[in-house]
Chains A and B, each alone.
Chain A
Amino acid sequence: MKTSTTMKRNKTLKTVLALSLMATVMTSCSSDDDTPEVVNEEEIITTMTVTLTSADGTATLQSQDLDGDGPDAPVITADNLTANTTYTGSIELLNETETPAEDITEEVEEEADEHQFFFGLTGSLTDVTYSDEDGDGNPVGLEFELTTGDAGSGTITITLRHEPTKPNDGTLADAGGETDIAQTFTVVVE
């Protein structure tokens, strides 16, 4: 009696083992022709275009990094500015990995209370003031005014922080948060 139940149990075990082996083989066969789906990153900002308008005309600063986190560095271009001039500035953000390009500016506008641009100036770039504010009356920086000094060269570092402390004292250290953009433009002022 006992022997026969043992044998039966062995049989069951062998069946289970055989079935699991078959399952293994079957899964390995079926997965061979799976072609993975491509991922096109959605949140990525590839392009920041700063349009600076004065009575004399329009100048553009642009940083474009089409491969995102890939090895290629952003391509930075900057038009020359006129000395002792106040420009009206606006920032446009795009994701150009998608066609048509996705406008990220709108996303920042919608969540203005969670975002803020910071401007760092050196040399012939002398002053920046915010021209826009979020629902709580704190600056955002999609619109701003930039003043140039005497002819020479200068840099403007534009940083977009996500979830900064708002209000803050205008410094990156006080604002905290995550950096979404940090680009520096070297500009000739003439």
Chain B
Amino acid sequence: MKNYLYVFVIFCSSFIYAQDCNSILLGEIVDFHDNSTLSGATINITGKNLSTVSKENGKFTFKNLCDGVLELEISHPECTTKFVTLTINGDTFYEIRLEHHLEELNEVKVIGDVPKSTNSAQENILSVKDIERNSGNSLGDALKKIAGISTLNTGGNIVKPVIQGLNGSRILILNNNVRMQDMEWGEEHAPNVDVNANQNISVIKGAAAIEYGGDAIGGVIVLEPLPIVRTDSLFGKTQLNLSSNGRGGNITSSLTKSYKSGLYIKAQGSYKKLGDLEAPDYILSNTGINESGLSLNIGKRDFEQGWEGYYSYFNSEIGILRASHIGNVDDLINAINSDVPSVINDFTYDITQPNQEVTHHLGKLSYYRRFEGFGKWTTQYDFQQNRRFEYDIRVGDDADKASLDLKLTTHSVLTNIKFDAKEGFDLKVGALGRYQTNFANPDTGVRRLIPDYDKYDLGLFAVGSYELNKDWTLDAGARYDFSRIDSKKFYRVSRWEERGYDVDFADIIIEDLGTQLLVNPVFDYHNFSGTAGFHYELNDKNHLRFNYAYSQRAPNASELFSDGLHHSAARIELGDLRIKSETSSKLSVSLERNTSKWGYTFAPFLNSIKDFILVEPTGVEFTIRGAFPVWSYRQTDAVLLGLDASLYNNWSSKIRTDHKFAWVRGTDTETDTPLINIPAANFTNSITYTNPKWNNFLVSLESQYVFEQTRFPDNIEVFSPEQQENVILDINTPPDAYQLLSLNTEASFTLKNKNDLTVGLSASNLLNTNYRDYLNRQRYFVDDMGRNISLRLIFNY
């Protein structure tokens, strides 16, 4: 800490007053960034009851001091509290530099005032309370609290977030500043993160946060640990959740040790186990989950420099509904026409085939350094490995063998410089290099759905924000991304010809094995993205944000290379080597009002996507096992138009109501038909009663109404071998509208420290309503989850 003190002794006393106590300390408080003086800072001499406040010119004085060493505590409302040790030797002058960018040191009152990544885009933050209430759920479930966020489910445990109608590779998940590389391309691939590992979760809708990536057409989900308080402390938190539906629960615990020097160590672990989930009328057989997570942070945050090491481990084993494993198109027709699933077994905690097991390792090292009057330089290396096994129902010796075994390894290096020396103007420039390799294990004995590939990425960006005046802030950014995908893939000769690749890609064949071809597709993509917008503060209650984002996304491995029968989904998925980058232009506006009495957000958006990549049922192919629906990737132009709105009102100090509405309309503009898998409009209303005097008692009742999606692509006609005729496969028709009620209550108690124990009881789907959701891939087979009563105990220490 001493090394950034600039000491100027202006007066060297020629007289020595041994043991005399009449020295004067003259000090000046200066902002580290722009050398401006800071008034209003409180300076205390620790151990002595002396204090003063810095004047207009940043200066302060203490008189009648004894020579020797003393410690000052300097605090300023906009700065971090700082302790300075100095030596008084006669009359002494010290210049003290304060850091007044709170977010870097995260020392005081940061909670509730989390810095935003952009000024002009729509950004929402989940409160720690919301995360605690969803501790037993997935990330997607927790995010649903935010208007405009919905989920794409495969049952109750595989939950992918959907932001304003878009999901998968269009959503970037940033785990402690590391972009998750966890095979986000698959519809049944949920993000491999523990919702409990990071207590600071925010969502940026759209591609405005381009420093994180240029291809986040849907949005960015930022997961960060809570800021660590820079004092000598040791604290922890343990939460236990028990759920009636699934007859299990989870436990999560974290322990943080921090030092005044800025050093900190944090360890966190979670374990979750649920058995078969239950619909109102039957057991959803083979829908259990085992999940464990571990994370470790160690670092030092200092004013001038800091470093961090982070490691996280996540493992989940998830059962896939037994009844969703079907043989062919006739089984699918029968399942769609039947009200009850084909398999209902007794409740069990055992998970059998079909199931998936995924392990994700993530490690990072980062370092930052500040340069006076210049800015801050940050650099980071991260490593990730994602291993995914998918097990299918197989026979004979292969019964326990995985059908899909992929290992995705990613290394990234990033560096950026933030120039923030000039008040009101921030500029950040950065670069990213990434190498990724995918290995598809041939020991499965099943042809690879996703092939081996190497991928190289290079990104360069600049983002800036400028505070024009008190009311107007402008921000803008630009980014270039290069990516190369180099794959080695086997094609069946019949597929190669059926796709017409023998004409277009004849030159990439490297080996002809008779019935199969080994080919080496290498594709380069040059993508540009840019954003510009403003934030206008009409007054301190009303804000207007406007943002335009242009972004391009290169196709992922699944969109290019998918080729084969997905047994548990009973569908043949076909990628297309011809797919190119998609380009999105999105306009979003948000009008916000925030007061203690009431507030609202009204946020319409228009997203026009050229060459939008989508997968949808296109027909059937016949095999000896019968006919299978074919889902093909294709590109078209699309427009998504939508609105997210929310409103709250505090009727009294104890009663509050919240209302939110989200609607999105997706259209394929080439064919003028609706897009597939666009979430239905939904309307959520809740009333909450709180009484701080009764142990912070809270009770809230929420109603969620999900409309029927009336806009969907046409169903397809297929030949049914069983019926010996063409029938309509009702694969796209959405289910009916539904309404769910949920109840939540909690209170906090004091065991050792104030309010250190929180007890909560909540019930979702309170009335045990039978319903099916359009964005649940298991809607053909079963009803969604029934009532779940859960108890949570949160203990802080």
Q: How far is the CA of A74 from the CA of B1 in the complex (A)?
A: 77
Counting CB contacts under 8 A, is B622 at the interface?
yes
**Minimum CB–CB distance for B192 against chain A, Å:** 21
- Number of A interface residues at 8 Å Cβ cutoff, please give it: 60
The answer to whether B454 and A31 touch across the interface, beta carbons within 8 angstroms, is: yes
Residue of B nearest to A178 (CB): B327
Counting CB contacts under 8 A, is A137 at the interface?
no
Q: How far is the CA of A8 from the CA of B53 in the complex (A)?
A: 38
Counting CB contacts under 8 A, is A169 at the interface?
no
The answer to whether A35 and B442 touch across the interface, beta carbons within 8 angstroms, is: no
The answer to whether B442 and A2 touch across the interface, beta carbons within 8 angstroms, is: no
State which of B446, B622, B626, B721 has its C-beta within 8 Å of the C-beta of A39.
B446
Counting CB contacts under 8 A, is A155 at the interface?
yes
Residue of A nearest to B393 (CB): A178
Counting CB contacts under 8 A, is B670 at the interface?
no
Given A21-B381, A35-B518, A42-B398: A179 and B305 interface contact (C-beta under 8 Å): no
**Minimum CB–CB distance for A187 against chain B, Å:** 13
Q: How far is the CA of A45 from the CA of B621 in the complex (A)?
A: 16
Among residues 475 to 489 in chain B, which have CB atoms less than 8 Å away from a CB atom of chain A? 486, 488-489
Residue of B nearest to A179 (CB): B327
Query: Hey, what's the 0/1 contact readout for B490-514 against A, CB within 8 Å counting as 1?
Result: 1011110010000000000001010
Q: How far is the CA of A18 from the CA of B588 in the complex (A)?
A: 42
Q: How far is the CA of A172 from the CA of B426 in the complex (A)?
A: 69
Residue of B nearest to A24 (CB): B411
The answer to whether A179 and B625 touch across the interface, beta carbons within 8 angstroms, is: yes
- Number of B interface residues at 8 Å Cβ cutoff, please give it: 66
Total residue contacts A-B, CB cutoff 8 A: 167
The answer to whether B440 and A36 touch across the interface, beta carbons within 8 angstroms, is: yes
Query: Hey, what's the 0/1 contact readout for A1-26 against B, CB within 8 Å counting as 1?
Result: 01100100110010011001101100
Which of A61-69, A84-92, A124-132 is the interface stretch?
A: A61-69
Counting CB contacts under 8 A, is A136 at the interface?
no
The answer to whether B624 and A183 touch across the interface, beta carbons within 8 angstroms, is: yes
State which of B381, B488, B495 has its C-beta within 8 Å of the C-beta of A71.
B495
Q: How far is the CA of A97 from the CA of B492 in the complex (A)?
A: 11
Residue of A nearest to B622 (CB): A73
Among residues 442 to 490 in chain B, which have CB atoms less than 8 Å away from a CB atom of chain A? 442, 444-448, 451-452, 454, 456, 486, 488-490
Q: How far is the CA of A48 from the CA of B721 in the complex (A)?
A: 16
The answer to whether B381 and A20 touch across the interface, beta carbons within 8 angstroms, is: yes
B334 neighbours in A (Cβ, 8 Å): 173
Given A23-B411, A39-B445, A67-B515: A183 and B721 interface contact (C-beta under 8 Å): yes
Given A120-B722, A181-B625, 5 new contacts (CB under 8 A): A17-B381, A31-B437, A71-B498, A73-B621, A184-B724
4 closest A-B pairs by CB: A179-B327, A182-B626, A71-B498, A73-B622
Residues on B close to A: CB < 8 A? 2-3, 305, 307, 325-328, 330-331, 334, 342-343, 365, 367, 379, 381, 383, 393-396, 398, 409, 411, 413, 435, 437, 440, 442, 444-448, 451-452, 454, 456, 486, 488-490, 492-495, 498, 511, 513, 515-516, 518, 564-565, 572, 621-626, 628, 721-722, 724
Residues on A close to B: CB < 8 A? 2-3, 6, 9-10, 13, 16-17, 20-21, 23-24, 27-28, 31-32, 34-39, 41-43, 45-48, 63, 65-74, 97, 107, 111, 114, 120, 122, 155, 157, 162-163, 172-173, 176, 178-184
